[in-house]
Every structure is written in structure tokens, then in C-alpha cells.
Amino acid sequence: MGLFTKKPRPLTVRYEAKSTDGGLDQVLTMTNSTEHDLVPVLRFRPLDFYGRELPLVQVTSLQGLTRGQVVVPSNSATRDVLRFEGPGCRSVRFVDTEVVDLAEIEVTGLETQPTTVMVDLNKKATANAEDFWGVGVANANEAEMRVRVTLIQLEPEHTEKNLKDSPRQALDWVSLEGDVVLGAKDHDVVWLPEDVRGKYHGVLGSVAAPPLD
């Protein structure tokens, strides 16, 4: 063992431009390696395939990571999706992430993120937008949890040859009005209004952060 031990960072961030399993593209995964629940405020710098900055590209976090709206529970991971707009947005393949602020909070009994899945009319998990009638939300913790649920509409699959391998951007997204409150070891289904059924292709869920001072 050397004289110095490198201290692990409290929050590590990994960006995946293109899904390998048919799921959502442009996913950011944050891993909290501490014993505290963390509320990060992040800033993003988009890069192309060669690591060059794309200064005209604007980055949006669908769940509000740039505004401190997501809790990453201790020793767990949380996902979000990024959207890119502006000249060069199709060239983004990597993201440089800066932690602008990192608040420690304590949510008693919170050890893991909620589980959120698209479900059909029979409450069965589905990946088909046409069968997406509701959101299944589950809390595996021993304490109450407030969950922010975000629905994501993707652009159509690319058919142009030059875009065939490009990630699919989020066209629209909406967080359900009001957080979903689940008791310990509880689960529920939130049914979608008829006028939005078939419109959305994915769902994200995260622990809703309390207001930061």
C-alpha cells in the first residue's frame, strides 16, 4: 500500500449516449457512494465524439438536476435523461459534468430509489407506447417516499442514413402534477388521462428533493 490513499468522490456520474438494450438514450447515471442522501446541482458541457466542446448546444436535465430537484439516496444510483438543442446537438456523444453544489440531507429510512415502470391496462410492464396506460411505482424502503414521476416522449426513430446511429432526443416531457407519496414497502399505479395515452415512450422516477435554501 502506498503512502497516500485516494479518497473516492461522493458522487460519480456516467453518461450513456445510446442505449444498448432498447431503452432510453442520453441517460445520465449518478452513483452516491456516501452514507448521506445527496441533492446535487449539476452543470453540463456537451462534447462530440472526439471530445471537442460544442459551445452552441444547450443541455436540459428532464428531472431538474441543474436546479437541485433530485435526491440521490446513500449508496445507491439515480438516472436522468438529457436533451440537447442548438447547432451541433446531433454530434453530442459525451458530457463533461461539473458539480456546482452538493447538499447533504437526511431522509430517515431511505436506502434506494423508487422503481417506476410503464404498465398496460392489466398492470403488466410494457415497453410499447400504445399499451402505456399507467405508471407502476414501488417503494422498497422502510420509510415513506415522495416520488417525482416524469413521462418522456421521444422523437420518431431515425430512418435517414446519416442519423441512423444517432441517439433519439426527448421531444417532450412532463412531470406528473404532485409527487406520488408511497408508504414503506408500498406500491401503486398512477393511471394516465386518455388524451396522453400512446404519446409517451418512457418514464423516470426519482426521490423528490425538498426546497433548497
Question: What is the chain's pLDDT, residue by residue, as a tens digit (213 residues)?
Answer: 455 555 568 999 999 999 988 889 999 999 999 989 999 999 999 999 999 999 999 999 999 999 999 999 998 999 999 999 999 999 999 999 999 999 998 877 888 899 999 999 999 999 999 999 999 999 999 999 999 999 999 998 877 877 777 899 999 999 998 899 999 999 999 999 888 888 999 999 999 887 655
What whole-number distance in Å separates Cα of residue 11 and Cα of residue 73?
A: 11
What whole-number distance in Å separates Cα of residue 78 and Cα of residue 33?
A: 12
Q: Which domains does the chain have, with CATH numbers?
A: 11-105 (2.60.40), 115-208 (no CATH)
pLDDT at 1 (0 to 100): 43
- pTM of the predicted structure, to 2 decimals: 0.89
**Contact, 92 vs 84, CB < 8 A?**
yes
SS3 state at 101 = strand
What whole-number distance in Å separates Cα of residue 120 and Cα of residue 37?
A: 33
Ramachandran angles phi, psi of 156, nearest 5°: -60, 155
